[in-house]
Amino acid sequence: MQGITLANLSIAAWLRTMLAMLALCCIIPSSAAPPKLSAVEPGKQLNFPQDFGAHPGYRTEWWYVTGWLETPDRKPLGFQVTFFRSATDHDPANPSRFAPKQLIIAHAALSDPAEGKLLHDQKSAREGFGIAHAREGNTDVRLGAWTFGRNAQGIYDAVVPAGEFEFRLRLEPTQPVMLQGEQGYSRKGPRPEQASYYYSEPHLKVSGTISRHGKPVEVGGSAWLDHEWSTSVLDQNAAGWDWVGANLDDGSALVAFQIRNRDGSRQWSHAALRVPDGRITHFPPEQVSFAPQRSWRSPRTGASYPVATRIEAGGQVFELTPLQDDQELDSRQSTGAVYWEGAVTLTRDGRRIGRGYLEMTGYVKPMKL
């Protein structure tokens, strides 16, 4: 989900620090006014292809791609690429080209069990100067040499030359867009304003190369794309969330998430299952639960993550097992968060039924000063 209804939790501290530093080096008139950002409201109809693009009138937005790949020797790999756009509180009337009105942030990760831990990289910059952008009208996001774009045929290209690896991937839709929640209006808490506009593109067919140490390897596989935008934040008692998006082997698509209170209890949850004929079943909070089965403790942060989890949605059970335990991503140099995000296999009664990605935030305890 990378939820920034959701992401506001993970980037808020970083944004405050960045903006404070920018204020020290920029002359901001006393009459400067923060932008008037749009609210997420029920009943809005998403409009494509326009909504494939950026929505700068909202606080936060992200394009989030995860998937499973296979090398020619049938070695499984997991990958993740995320581009964030975040509107700041800078006066939109400020004519300076240096005014940091929009921030662009990106994460990329490679999950390879042969490495024993997640390989990841991150970048951030203010929008402009040909360095970074998130354009309206269609998916077109850039951060330096990292790019993610959608062409007129609906095919996506991701080019990510990261520090320890490089992705050059093409993602081709095989199914229609999946609107989450109520026709794209996705609740994230007990109050209606705690929501995002949210759609997914499951079962993307992936081809391309992944390079390590300058050596490209052909890969193929399946991916999941989430695109969300919002201005609201989570409830003040929310501590984090667990989210999974999974491509099931029969062509179905599953998304499930829960928002956790500070005491670990469930504050809000939701799940949706689309079967191959296109029918979608939405499961309300009382029908969705996450039950940890096994935890892994990070040697770096001390956080304990429930890496093996059982999800129940309307009586259906999904057992999640990680590709590898150590898929912790440290993004403190960009969004400020440390979270677990990794490839998982879904089984039922011991039989594989799909593959997806699990994201878990809020498990790292704040440092005591």
Give tens-digit pLDDT for 69-81.
999 999 999 999 9
Highest-confidence range of 27-36, 260-269, 302-311, by mean pLDDT?
Answer: 302-311
- CB count within 10 Å of CB 163 equals 11
CATH number assigned to the domain comprising residue 298: 2.40.370.10
Indicate the number of domains in the chain. Answer: 1
Residue 295 lies in a domain: yes
Give CA–CA dist 301/336, Å, rounded: 14
Inter-CA distances, 91 with 61, 295, 302, Å: 19, 45, 40
Lowest mean pLDDT among 25-34, 138-147, 160-169: 25-34
For residue 23, pLDDT over 80 is answered with no
Using a pLDDT cut of 90, give the percent of the chain over it.
Answer: 73
Residue 148 lies in a domain: yes
Q: Domain limits at 15?
A: 7-32+49-360
Residue 369 lies in a domain: no
Dihedral sign for Cα atoms in the order 121, 127, 132, 138? positive
- Over range 164-189, report the average pLDDT: 96
> What pLDDT is attached to residue 24?
35
> What pLDDT is attached to residue 336?
66
For residue 282, pLDDT over 60 is answered with yes
- CB count within 10 Å of CB 216 equals 12
Give tens-digit pLDDT for 98-117.
667 789 999 999 999 999 99
Residue 40 lies in a domain: no
- Over range 260-273, report the average pLDDT: 92
Give tens-digit pLDDT for 287-327.
999 999 999 999 999 999 999 999 999 999 999 999 999 99
More confident residue, 154 or 7: 154
> What pLDDT is attached to residue 2?
54
Give CA–CA dist 147/157, Å, rounded: 8
